[in-house]
């Protein structure tokens, strides 16, 4: 079974209905739009995250990458080794002959 994809316009309209729901529940709006309530909450969370990131001057994909790097210790160790210039930089000794 293929996962349904929703256009950005559809997501915007759905979020507009959520923000202006006039006392209706999220489930009622999800039923009206014929989407799972979980998907509607997911779109709302993405929207709020994007808004917060814009306020901080960063992009969502940067935040996701930082989280992945921080939460995966093996990845962090690899990046530290990769950027460890002390192992690859030439060593010059000041020698008087």
**CA 92 – CA 74 distance, rounded (Å):** 32
Angle at 66 between CA 55 and CA 60, to 5 degrees: 40
pTM above 0.75, yes or no: no
Does 96 score more than 80 pLDDT?
no
CB 71 within 8 A of CB 63: no
**CA 24 – CA 20 distance, rounded (Å):** 9
Tens of pLDDT along 12-39? 899 899 889 889 999 999 999 999 999 9
């Amino acid at each position: 079974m293929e996962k349904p994809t929703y256009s950005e316009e559809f997501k915007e309209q759905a979020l507009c209905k959520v923000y202006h729901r006039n006392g209706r529940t999220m489930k009622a709006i999800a039923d009206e739009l014929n989407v799972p309530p979980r998907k509607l909450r997911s779109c709302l969370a993405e929207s709020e995250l994007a808004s917060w990131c814009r306020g901080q001057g960063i992009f969502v994909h940067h935040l996701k990458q930082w989280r992945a790097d921080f939460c995966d210790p093996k990845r962090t160790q690899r990046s530290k080794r990769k950027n460890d210039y002390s192992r690859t930089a030439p060593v010059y000794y000041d020698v008087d002959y």
